Amino acid sequence: MTDSSGEILQSMAQAVIDGEAERVRELARRALEQGIEPMRAINEGLIPGISEVGRRFERKEYFLPELMMAADAMKKGMEVLEAALTAGGGKRESQGTVVLGTVKGDIHDIGKSIVGTLLSAHGFNVIDLGVDVSADRFIENIVNNNADVLGMSALLPTTMPYMKRVVDELVSRGLRQRVKVIVGGAPVTPEYARQIGADAYGDDAISAVHVVQQLLGLAN
C-alpha cells in the first residue's frame, strides 16, 4: 500500500471525528510505518480531528456521545504515537497533570469521568481516583504525581462541604500554592467555589477543559 502521508493524516483526523478508536490506532501505526514523525501525526492528524469535533459540539451538530467517543479514539492514537516518541528519545510536552475525583461520601461517577476523558484528549495526564475519595488520598496523589491541578466533583448537597475540607487540608499542609483547584458538580456554583477557596469552577465538561487550560496559562 502506498498511502501518501497527507492521506494517512487526513484519514486519522476523520477517524477521530467518527469516533473510530480501533481505526485511529491502526492509522497511527501505519503512519509510523510510513516514516511519519510521531509529533507530526499528532499535530496534523489527531489534533485537527479533535478540534473539528469540538467545533461541531459547539454548533450542536455533535453531542456528548460523539464527543466522548472521539476523545477515546484520540487517546488510543495518542498511546501509539507517544510510545514511538518515547522510544525515539523524544517526549511530548504534557499539558500538565490533573488529579481528579468525586469527594468522600459521594459515589457519583459520570460527570467527573466525562471531564477526565476530555482532559486526556486535550493532552493532560489525568489521574482519576474514582469516587468516595478522602482528603488524604487526594493529597497523597497530588504529592506523588507532582500534580498541577486538583479537580473535585460532588453531586450531593451533603457531600459538597467535603470539597472545602480538602482545600483546608491543602492549606494546613502548606500545599495550597503548589496546585490549582477546580470544582464542579450539579449543586456547585461559582460563588461556592470562591467561598471555599478554590481557584475555579467548571460549569460542564467542555468548560472544565477551558478553565484548566486558563489556570495553567495554556489558553490561546
Partner 1 sequence: MPRRGLRGGLLKFIRPDDLEQIRFAVLEVLSEVGILMEYRPALELLADHGAKVDWKTSVVRLPEGLVQRALVTAPSRFTLYGKTPEYDVKVDLDRVYTIGGSCALSVLDLDGQHRLAVRQDLVDLTRLLEEMPHLDIMHQIVVPSDVPELGYELVNFATCYSISKRNYYSQAQSAESVRDQIRMAAVYQGSEEAVRDRPTFSEVVCMVSPCKHEKQNSEVLMESARHGIPLYIEVDSLCGATTPAPIAGTLVEEGATVIAGVVLAQLVNPGTPCIFSIASGILDMANGAYSGAAPETALIHAGTAQVAHRFGLPYQGGTGIDAKLPDAQAGYERALQVLTNILAGTNFVHLSYGMMEQMLLASYEQVVIDEEIMGAAFRIAQGFDVNDYTLSVDMLARVGALGKHFLTQRETRDFYRKDRWQPTITNRDPWDTWQAAGGKDMRQYANERARAILAEEKPWAVDQEQAAEIERLCQEGVRKAQERRQAM
Binding site residues, partner 1, CB under 8 A: 60, 63-65, 107-108, 110-111, 114, 157-159, 161, 186-187, 204-205
Which lies closer to partner 1 via its Cβ, residue 48 or residue 105?
105
CB of 195 to partner 1, least distance (A): 11
DSSP 121-145: HTT-EEEE--SSB-HHHHHHHHHHT
Residues whose CB is less than 8 angstroms from the CB of residue 163 and which lie 6 or more positions away in sequence, other chains included: 103, 152, 154, 183, 188, 196, 198
CB of 187 to partner 1, least distance (A): 5
Which lies closer to partner 1 via its Cβ, residue 140 or residue 204?
204
Which lies closer to partner 1 via its Cβ, residue 41 or residue 133?
133
CA distances from 87 to 48, 98, 136 (A): 24, 25, 35
Total Cβ atoms within 10 A of residue 99: 26
Which lies closer to partner 1 via its Cβ, residue 33 or residue 58?
58
CB of 172 to partner 1, least distance (A): 17
User: In which residue are the cell numbers 450531593 written?
Assistant: 156
